[in-house]
Amino acid sequence: MRLTMSLGVIGCSLLAAAEYTLNVKVYNTSAVDKGSIYLAPHTGPASGPYVFDQQGKILYSITNRLGNVFDFQPCTYQKTLRYCLFTTGSANIAKGYGNGTASIYDDKFQLIKALPTSDYHEFKIQQSLDTATGAVNDIALLTLYNPVRRDLSQFGVANEEDQGWVIDCRLRALDPTSGKILFDWSALDHVPLSESLVQPTGAINGRSADFAWDYFHLDSIARLYNGDFIVSSRHTSTVYRISGKDGSILWRLGGKSSTFQLQGFQFSSQHDVRVIKDSGSIMKLSMFDNAYNTFTPPQGDSSGKIIELDTATNTARLVQQYNPPPGESGFQSGDGGSLQLLPRGNVFICWGSTPYVTEHTADGLLVYSANYAVIGSSVSSYRAFKAPYTGITNPK
């Protein structure tokens, strides 16, 4: 028997070591996809990686030992099921970035690989087919946030040396085993500062390295089969296709200079942009649309979106939108969030700074909803995933 002490927060309890619980509010057992829920609540009293079953029972957790944890998920590394996550003790929520370590764990949750220091916004291992040899190789995708000097006088920023500081967001692809860098891309080399929709002010005022202006804010990376990349920039509200050959920008979706005409919809401050389909002139993307900004009129609640692009006509249309649970409020998520397509066609959504996860059928019907903290608390999970759980053999 385990004794609990209420923390006064829905979905939280204090055990021998504090742990979050998943408060299930909607559960259509015949309509949900199979799988367990991978969460990594951070900034709260029980930060760490968690695996829950769909009833809300904890299957595995490590609390208060790894610092702030992001992107906890099962991954494939060297053709074997592993667990990937990013840990940082320096995440600065006010600034929205933080350096740390991308790590790979085995089925005993023992560390088997730690990659070079990077930023927490992306850590994915994708597989790439070498067409010459037929070998399938692992590629790790990482974000880096580096403060550098720049003339920011046109933005009203100057210091004693007449130069300001700006964050150079970098996309890096590397071999996770050898550490060899396979591709490195700098936002500053390709995206002008004038594309930013966030001005240098407050914690990102650009007047020192510690307060560098985060003009771009790279928050997701996906690699296409042909080697190109899809990247998402929160602070330009733009999705970019980047050439994997020379780093040039092939097109923009959204923001100030969109290549595509958005037909009857908009998005802003988006996260977790993924490629669903890439065939000829048609590309289909998924994203979590935060709809959270101070530079356009309020767009209402955040949502999940499926968007189809036609590069022949340079048009973009909304295929499907996934809305918050009916009757709930407070679902305009200020940061984070993810959308995952499940094997049976359902969609699993993490609502970022709104501490909920939901599942929807392909046509938008809500079939699962659960929270792990109250809306408005400091607790959130950057992303969440639903996937099979075969068991971590190392006891808690």
Residue 383 contacts residue 337 (beta carbons within 8 Å): yes
Span 227-280, pLDDT tens digits:
999 999 999 999 999 999 999 999 999 999 999 999 999 999 999 999 999 999
Query: What is the reported pLDDT for 160?
Result: 61
For 266, phi and psi rounded to 5 degrees? -150, 170
Span 173-199, pLDDT tens digits:
999 999 999 999 999 999 999 999 999
Question: What CA–CA distance (Å, rounded) separates 348 from 361?
Answer: 9
Residue 4: pLDDT band (50, 70, 90) is very low
Query: What is the reported pLDDT for 149?
Result: 94
pLDDT, average across residues 47-73:
92
Residue 250 contacts residue 239 (beta carbons within 8 Å): no
Token pair for 167: 């964050």
Query: What is the reported pLDDT for 187?
Result: 98
Question: What CA–CA distance (Å, rounded) separates 290 from 382?
Answer: 12
DSSP alpha helices (H): ranges in 146-289? 187-190
Span 324-368, pLDDT tens digits:
999 888 899 988 999 999 999 999 999 999 999 999 999 999 999
Residue 16: pLDDT band (50, 70, 90) is very low
Residues sharing a CB contact under 8 Å with residue 342, sequence separation 6 or more, in sequence order? 33, 35, 348, 359, 386
Query: What is the reported pLDDT for 13?
Result: 32
Q: Which of 158, 136, 381 is closest to 272 using CA atoms?
A: 381
pTM, rounded to two decimals? 0.92
Residue 322: pLDDT band (50, 70, 90) is very high
Span 296-317, pLDDT tens digits:
655 689 999 999 999 999 999 9
Q: Is the pLDDT of residue 7 over 60?
A: no
Span 109-162, pLDDT tens digits:
999 999 977 899 999 999 998 878 888 999 999 999 999 999 999 999 976 666
Residue 363 contacts residue 54 (beta carbons within 8 Å): no
Residue type at 173? A
Q: Is the pLDDT of residue 23 over 70?
A: yes
Query: What is the reported pLDDT for 9?
Result: 33
